[in-house]
Amino acid sequence: MLQYLLFISLIGAVVQPLPTAYLIFRAPSQAAGKCWMDALELSLRCSALLLRSNSSMGAVQGTSANDSAQISHETQWSEADYEKHFNEHDLDGDSQNEGGPAAMSGVDTESESEPEAVVEEEPETPYVPLTEEEFGSVGEQVEELAEENKSLIWILVKQVRPGMDLSKVVLPTFILEPRSFLDKLSDSYYHADLLSRAVTEDDPFTRMKTVVQWYLSGFYKKPKGLKKPYNPILGETFRCYWEHPNGSRTFYIAEQVSHHPPVSAFYVTNRQDGFCISCSILAKSKFYGNSTSAVLEGVATLTLLPRGEKYTLNTPYAHCKGILVGTLSMELGGKVNIECENTGYKTELEFKLKPFLGGSDYTNLISGKIKLGKETMATINGHWDTEMTIKEAKTGEETILFKADPETKQKRLVRYVVPLDAQLPNESERLWEKVSLAIRSDDQVGATEEKTVLEEAQRNAAKDRKASFTDWIPVHFNYDPIVAQWEYRYADLRPWDQRNDVRQYEAKYKVLTKTRHRAPMVRNPSIVTADPMQLIKSSSLLKVKHKSLSILGLTHDDDKSESSSNPDAGKTPHQTPGKTIRRLATAIEKMNHTLEEQTKQLRLIQTNLDRLHYNPRLMVPPSGRFSDMVPRTVPQTVVIKSMVYAFVGLAACFVMKWMFK
């Protein structure tokens, strides 16, 4: 098609040359496309009006009422007008995309000449780099217990039985790693720059391969010995970020949203590089006698913002064996699926447990496939803590997918954390500070005492809430019952705008974007997480604006009377500012009506969902009749006959019982 247009434009005046300022969008539906076109038309008219308003105001005031120009209902723009409009505002320059994020400050916009346009609503949280890291040994993760610790294990085993959930069991401190589980979940993002690379890949297979490469990069860091992180306390939070080589930052926000059952929610975002991750995990553990397994139930959703692609992925389970007999060791096992419905690609991974008679070569094995539909595109093999290779099916070429060598460890992104003195009392490091100090000092008695203090405080708080009939409400996450996930309250899903967005920052656990102009926030489009009262406030605000326009005499009725009193109306090709404002007032009035209707429906849905969530028995029909609870597909006669038969059968039972007494 492009060659055809080029040929036509070269040989003559069959068609006009294509304008250079055309931008092509693809709408998800016809209704959405029409909405876009209406919005573009309205914005072009308003922008043209603003450009001419200052220069034409004097001329309009100087003319008489009979000679004043009136606007036609439709403003006709030629292609030259559109070209001129975009050229005047430098909207077709290719230079704005050159240089990437580093050259962003050099873009010539009107807002740059106004320093007050770039403001931060809240002060940014201070962070400091954390360069010290501990890495466990490569291979099987084992630990030799001291005799006194073995006796504690025996005492613990006597309190449990096979198949029992260990989430409520108090574990001894010698098996604890001095960090919270919320902190532990952040180990997967030291190579988040791989996700930045995945966003820029145009080939969907390469994108999936890069996502898998990032996923596997989060397992090779292991603690020294066999350790378990702290179980987070209800309301506990953790935050940090990683700085990328290009200057962007990946923020991590986590909160313990539930204690029974223990649910941890976290949100990862880097809008500048174009990705975000949302996940809530339910931690479970089972005891099998000589072994135990820790299962993390939950699905993480990775979104590539510029491409609109969503990848769903889960995690393997941790298996610990040798509790009573043998060497105490831990390994990963289970199947993992990484799937993208947008492209159709799916990765199947299997973390294999070491067999009973297997040697070191069978430790930490992993295998997998990248599939498109039912066709296998590539196979993956190796050890998840050292080296993994990928072999493409078509070419037979085998390359290294990920290798945890010293060079790779040097490329780990630097993590920044909040200083201890600037942390809130419920933040992980400050909350567990005394316990961690005792564990690092090898003071197991002191660690147990400090841990008991925290646990008792948590139990007392739970008793107080139960006595006052109040529920715990998370601060930074909302529960969405439709998708059964906890969603970050301040999630921003907009693709990065090079002209408007400057950088991301975090303030009071809100990941915000510093912009040159104020822009609307695009949040999770869930009808349940929307606040009906907020919509009512927005509707009231629009009504107040419309009343203000009515007081000024800028209503639709005044527009009609003015047009009818002036016989020359509609003959001039230009539009006055007053007429356009009146049209905007009419559009706002229609929006008020539509928003009010949608608010009523949303409030009804929210009420029904709350009733269903807290007490399903309240979901009865307004009439209270049994027939209204029967599905509409069942005929009414069948319902009546069934009730009659039931009544007759019940009467017959009573008669038979009375006769045979």
Which one-letter amino acid corresponds to residue 437? L
Q: How confident is the model at residue 558 (pLDDT cuts 50, 70, 90)?
A: very low
Measured in residues, the chain has a length of 661
Q: What is the pLDDT of residues 444-480, one digit of tens each?
A: 899 999 999 999 999 999 999 999 999 999 999 999 9
Q: How confident is the model at residue 249 (pLDDT cuts 50, 70, 90)?
A: very high
pLDDT of res. 635: 60
What three-state secondary structure class fits 34? Answer: helix
pLDDT of res. 521: 53
d(CA 344, CA 371) in angstroms, rounded, equals 8
Question: Pick the residue with more confidence: 136 or 258?
Answer: 258
pLDDT of res. 17: 56
d(CA 194, CA 308) in angstroms, rounded, equals 18
Nearest to 218 by CA among 338, 372, 126, 371: 338
Nearest to 408 by CA among 165, 632, 205, 135: 135
Weakest-pLDDT range from 218-227, 437-446, 502-511? 218-227
Q: Which residue reads 């034409």 in tokens?
A: 56
d(CA 79, CA 21) in angstroms, rounded, equals 10
| Residue 346 backbone dihedrals phi, psi, to 5 degrees | -145, 135
Q: What is the pLDDT of residues 431-454, one digit of tens each?
A: 999 999 999 998 989 999 999 999
Q: Which residue reads 């092509």 in tokens?
A: 24
pLDDT of res. 195: 97
pLDDT of res. 19: 57
User: Cβ–Cβ contacts within 10 Å for residue 284, how many?
Assistant: 16
d(CA 238, CA 188) in angstroms, rounded, equals 15
Question: Pick the residue with more confidence: 424 or 1?
Answer: 424
Question: Pick the residue with more confidence: 320 or 379?
Answer: 379
128-467: CATH number: 2.40.160.120
pLDDT of res. 660: 61
Nearest to 370 by CA among 204, 189, 220, 219: 204
Q: What is the pLDDT of residues 523-556, one digit of tens each?
A: 544 434 444 444 444 444 444 444 444 444 444 4
What pTM value is reported for the model? 0.63
pLDDT of res. 148: 62
pLDDT at 286 over 90: no
* Integer angstrom CA distances of residue 328 from 220, 292, 322, 332: 19, 11, 4, 14
Distance of CA 475 to the CA centre of its chain: 16
pLDDT of res. 50: 60
When the pLDDT of each residue in the chain is averaged and rounded to a whole number, the result is: 76
- DSSP per residue, 642-656: HHHHHHHHHHHHHHH
Angle at 104 between CA 501 and CA 214, to 5 degrees: 75
Q: Please answer whether residues 97 and 393 qualify as being in contact, where contact means their C-beta atoms are separated by less than 8 angstroms.
A: no
Average pLDDT over residues 600-613: 72
d(CA 661, CA 658) in angstroms, rounded, equals 6
Average pLDDT over residues 488-517: 93
pLDDT of res. 158: 66
Nearest to 271 by CA among 508, 491, 517, 526: 491
Instruction: Tell me the sheet residues that pair with 403.
Output: 387
d(CA 399, CA 385) in angstroms, rounded, equals 17
The proportion of the chain whose per-residue pLDDT surpasses 70, expressed as a percent, equals 65
pLDDT at 329 over 80: yes
Spans of all domains in the chain: 27-89+531-601, 128-467, 626-659
Q: What is the pLDDT of residues 307-322, one digit of tens each?
A: 999 999 999 999 888 8
Asked whether the CA dihedral 520, 524, 525, 527 is positive or negative, the reply is negative
Q: What is the pLDDT of residues 615-635, one digit of tens each?
A: 555 444 545 454 444 444 456
Average pLDDT over residues 130-158: 69
Q: Please answer whether residues 435 and 218 qualify as being in contact, where contact means their C-beta atoms are separated by less than 8 angstroms.
A: no
Which one-letter amino acid corresponds to residue 130? L
